Structure 1
Amino acid sequence: MRNISKAALLLFTVVLLLSACSASLKEEQKAAKDAVNEAFKGTPKEANNKNEDIAFYLPFGVEVKETSPNNIILKNGSKTYILFYNQHEGPESKVVYEATMKQKKYDLNEIFEKDQHFGFLLIKNTDKNMNEMTIGAGGVKITSQSKTKQLSSDAAIMSEIVHSVTMK
């Protein structure tokens, strides 16, 4: 009986330490918001990729996996991103945001506005450590699944991409 108590105490201590060491969802959501805000207020990266409708920047390691009308599937190792664009909507448009908001309820909904540009960050916690994150600007959005501890780093990458998109 004494060994069981020691084992239970040890297990409890390990769980407590591990949970204390990992970033909380709220902390990572705030860091993701800061990353998106920084990209939104900064100068967009210069495009290094294009298709017939748009030009866009892809960070090192991110590549085009598949294209279809208005969608580009991007890969970075095992990570998949879906880049959607509506070439008929300008940088101030809220159409993509409003349509995305109708699809589900999000745990985090942040809006960014600057000089006739509209942007947004949406995060839906889907599992204990997984989230669906969508970042948009005008008629463009990018969506991916992200572990809670990677929300801010994924947000930085996704923001660079979405804010670099220019319509042809």
Structure 2
Amino acid sequence: MRKIMGLSMSLLIISLFFLSACAPSEDEALELTETAAKTVFEDNTTEPNNTLDSFSLYLPSGYEIIEESQSNLLLESGDQTFILFYNALEDTTSELNYQAAEANGNNLLLQSFEDEGRFAFVKVSESGDEYELQVGVGGVKITTQTSIRQLEDYTIEMMQIATSLAYTDQD
């Protein structure tokens, strides 16, 4: 019985070691998140694949629009929820959402990027035992709650969505 308990405990410790070795440290995850946001922002090749009344945008495979209201979209991918806020009165160079994130404080990561005609940012903050991830381009921002393991992947998808949003002319 004692051997079985010892063997079980050894297997548990080894399993925990391997599981923790697979997850990036918080610092590594934040660095990967910043790099992913900057890379997608600079790439800027994502074309819209969904058209709504006042704008079009790219949605990655598996994403669905669950609810649409004035200035907001509720998106889902599997069991993950994303809130997309858009302000058509703010152009692609607007820093309003970034300034709000900066004023909020308590950010583990807050990094901005800009080029001719666009301003973007990525923000990560702690939210209980998860992380709040926010990505924005001009008057568009997308927010979700996620684990450290998913920060980089969701950053890529969220920045693809944010950089693709294009308003349609309303006559």
TM range, smaller chain: 0.7 to 0.9
Q: TM-score, normalised by structure 2?
A: 0.86
Contact 2:121 2:137 in 1 (8 A): yes
Which ranges in structure 1 are unaligned for 5 or more consecutive residues? none
Conserved in 1, the CA contact under 8 Å of 2:135 and 2:142? yes
Distance 1:20 1:61 in 2: 29
Residue 98, structure 1, aligned to residue 99, structure 2: yes
Aligned with 1:98: secondary structure? helix
Residues 73 and 85 in structure 2, CA contact (< 8 A), matched pair in contact too:
yes
Q: Which residue of 2 aligns with 1:141?
A: 141
Instruction: Name the CA distance, whole Å, in 2 between partners of 1:48 and 1:101.
Output: 32
Equivalent residues, number: 167
Partner of 1:59: 60
For 2:142 and 2:45, how far apart are their aligned partners in 1?
15
Helix, strand or coil at the partner of 2:133: strand
Deviation at 1:27, TM superposition (A): 1.2
The SS at the match of 1:163 is helix
TM-score by length of 1: 0.87
How do residues 18-167 of structure 1 correspond to structure 2 at under 5 angstroms?
A: 18-128=19-129, 130-167=130-167
- Which stretches in structure 2 are left out of the alignment for 5+ residues? none
- In 1, the alpha carbon distance for the partners of 2:89 and 2:10 equals 60
Percent identity between matched residues is: 31
Moved over 4 A (4+): 1-14
- Paired with 2:45 and 2:84, the residues of 1 have a C-alpha distance of 16
Letter in 2 for 1:31: L
- Segment drifting more, 150-159 vs 10-19: 10-19
Report the AA paired with residue 163 of structure 1: T
